[in-house]
């Protein structure tokens, strides 16, 4: 493996975060804080507890997951799209660097940013509500797994997009609505039976449910099912990335 190439891509992408600190870190943290203020004060006063957990505490995993999903996709998609936009992608493709090393550098940097952001949001949440993480190892595992999976997904979007507008289409019109409807602010068990069945077709339900289980040991679906769905999506993204580099889809044209 060309460690120097991976390290160069990784450090370049991490340095970009420092240059856009306000957009990359401060803005998501402030947005999440507003969710705590609005939902915690307005809805928390009406819904005191969900399955024995105060409402303000209950929504913490969902808010963290909301930020991780959107930021992982955003960081990874822009990271690979910008070389395409400037034309430097051809220098990267002609360099003695394998596609695995390219993906490792870009996706590794995007996932690292999301993990750091998730931990910052968790620390911020502790200022608003008391946090109790019953399974910290599982919490970190879900954090890392979700960040890597959706960074890969964002990498695919960045290659697919042929304009800056398309970079925002899937995050805004697909991922964000699915996250809001995936139990970020409520338990699926609170829905009518018919809508509970419909909600189970939302893949984000399994991500949030597994992540919430690591905090409070409460979940809408089994922990094994949550891990299985997440790993399945990870494998699907890896297969898609392999196909893109094998065929040169939107890379060589």
Q: How far is the C-alpha of 211 from the C-alpha of 218, rounded, in Å?
A: 10
The stretch 57-79 carries a mean pLDDT of 90
Residue located via tokens 């999506």: 233
> Does residue 141 form part of some domain?
yes
0.85 surpassed by pTM: yes
Tokens of 58: 């209950």
54: pLDDT strictly greater than 90: no
Residue-number span of the structural domain to which 110 is assigned: 3-247
Confidence at 112, pLDDT banded by 50, 70, 90: very high
pLDDT above 70 as % of the chain: 95
Q: Which of the residue ranges 18-27, 59-68, 87-96, 152-161 would you say has the lowest mean pLDDT?
A: 18-27
41: pLDDT strictly greater than 70: no
- pLDDT computed for residue 105 by the predictor: 92
- pLDDT computed for residue 3 by the predictor: 86
> Does residue 44 form part of some domain?
yes
> Does residue 253 form part of some domain?
no
> Does residue 184 form part of some domain?
yes
Name which of 200, 49, 71 is nearest 209 in CA terms. Answer: 200
Q: How many domains does the chain have?
A: 1
Q: How far is the C-alpha of 131 from the C-alpha of 124, rounded, in Å?
A: 11
> Does residue 236 form part of some domain?
yes
What letter does residue 53 receive in the DSSP assignment? E
Confidence at 191, pLDDT banded by 50, 70, 90: confident
> Does residue 176 form part of some domain?
yes
46: pLDDT strictly greater than 80: no
> Does residue 252 form part of some domain?
no
Q: How far is the C-alpha of 31 from the C-alpha of 125, rounded, in Å?
A: 12
Beta bridge partner(s), residue 50: 53
> Does residue 196 form part of some domain?
yes
């Amino acid at each position: 493996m060309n460690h120097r190439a991976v390290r160069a891509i990784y450090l370049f992408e991490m340095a970009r975060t420092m240059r856009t600190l306000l957009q990359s870190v401060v803005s998501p943290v402030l947005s999440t804080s507003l969710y705590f203020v609005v939902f915690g004060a307005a809805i928390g006063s009406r819904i005191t507890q969900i399955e024995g957990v105060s409402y303000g505490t209950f929504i913490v995993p969902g808010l963290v997951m909301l930020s991780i999903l959107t930021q992982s996709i955003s960081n990874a998609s822009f990271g690979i799209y910008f070389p395409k936009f400037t034309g430097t992608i051809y220098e990267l493709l002609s360099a003695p660097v394998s596609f695995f090393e390219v993906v490792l550098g870009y996706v590794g940097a995007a996932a690292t940013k999301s993990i750091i952001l998730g931990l910052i949001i968790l620390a911020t949440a502790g200022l608003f509500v008391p946090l109790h993480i019953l399974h910290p190892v599982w919490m970190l595992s879900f954090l890392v797994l979700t960040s890597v999976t959706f960074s890969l997904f964002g990498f695919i979007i960045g290659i697919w997009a042929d304009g800056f507008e398309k970079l925002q289409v899937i995050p805004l019109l697909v991922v964000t609505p699915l996250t809001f409807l995936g139990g970020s602010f409520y338990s699926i068990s609170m829905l009518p039976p018919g809508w509970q069945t419909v909600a189970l077709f939302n893949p984000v339900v399994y991500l949030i449910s597994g992540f919430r289980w690591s905090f409070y040991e409460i979940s809408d679906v089994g922990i094994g099912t949550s891990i299985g769905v997440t790993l399945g999506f990870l494998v699907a993204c890896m297969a898609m990335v392999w196909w893109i580099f094998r065929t040169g889809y939107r890379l060589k044209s």
